[in-house]
Amino acid sequence: MAAATLDGPRIPAKSGKAKQLVIFLHGYGADGNDLIEIGRQWQAWLPDAAFVSPHAPERMPQMGRQWFALTMRDPDERWRGVVQARPALDAFIDAELQKNGLDESKLALVGFSQGTMMALHVGLRRKRGPACIVGYSGVLVGPENLAEASARGAKGLPPPVLLVHGDMDDLIPFDALFMSAEELAKVNIPCQWHLSMGVAHGIDAGGLLQGGVFIAQNFGLRVNASAQSLRRR
């Protein structure tokens, strides 16, 4: 079966010519409009980046879209879900890179919640690794399958990861951040993390700052030294 064709809202590069590409992957029950405005906030650090936030392939019965169905009753459904949704996202990434005349070294994947599951699953398994992956309020799915995470950049290194989570998250508890970071460390995938205090299942200003600076740094851009330091795992 052919992979679904994805599309969603876009923000062109502020400078007029895209030299980097940031792809947002929204959460369960939302759509691409949910995250795209983050791109406008990040343009201060990323004036040459184009931003796109595709709608997930499956429409939900009552609201929004999903990368895959969740019943919360089947412990294996997340793994089956990311595997099933991967071809559509891979095809979208390939098309967007080609459209902008860029390669993976100029790509950042940014996910929220279920979108973080997709960003980690797909980004760590592409033929060429992206410049970096940022995951908000999510979790690494199928850590026992990380032997598949063979994506490497031009220097032969895996893509660096930043995980951000609210300590008051009652949908995906913040323990998921530490579990995911530990599992990535076991297979030598560099992972930094930021815990947003007093934040539930969402993204606060501090988390946005961390994400924007992390991406800019991994694109090789100069950033304001006053940005908060990242904790390393």
pLDDT tens sequence across 176-203: 999 999 999 999 999 999 999 999 999 9
Asked, for residue 86, whether it belongs to a domain, the answer is yes
Asked, for residue 154, whether it belongs to a domain, the answer is yes
Q: How much is the average pLDDT of 114-122? A: 98
Asked, for residue 64, whether it belongs to a domain, the answer is yes
Asked, for residue 4, whether it belongs to a domain, the answer is no
Question: If you ran DSSP here, which 8-state letter would residue 63 be given?
Answer: S
pLDDT tens sequence across 82-110: 999 999 999 999 999 999 999 999 999 99
Q: CA dist 171 to 54, 138, 178, 203, Å?
A: 23, 10, 16, 13
β partners of residue 162: 134, 192
Q: At 72, is the pLDDT very low, low, confident or very high (cuts 50, 70, 90)?
A: confident
Question: At 150, which CATH number?
Answer: 3.40.50.1820
Asked, for residue 2, whether it belongs to a domain, the answer is no
pLDDT tens sequence across 13-28: 999 999 999 999 999 9
Q: How much is the average pLDDT of 204-218? A: 97
Instruction: Give the length of the chain.
Output: 233
Mean pLDDT computed over every residue of the chain:
93
- Is the pLDDT score of 228 beyond 60? no
Asked, for residue 81, whether it belongs to a domain, the answer is yes
For the entire predicted model, the pTM comes to 0.94
Asked, for residue 3, whether it belongs to a domain, the answer is no
* Counted domains in the chain: 1
Asked, for residue 90, whether it belongs to a domain, the answer is yes
- Domain coverage including residue 106: 10-232
- Is the pLDDT score of 230 beyond 50? no
- Is the pLDDT score of 6 beyond 90? yes
Look at residues 124, 147, 120 and name the one whose alpha carbon lies nearest to residue 136. 120
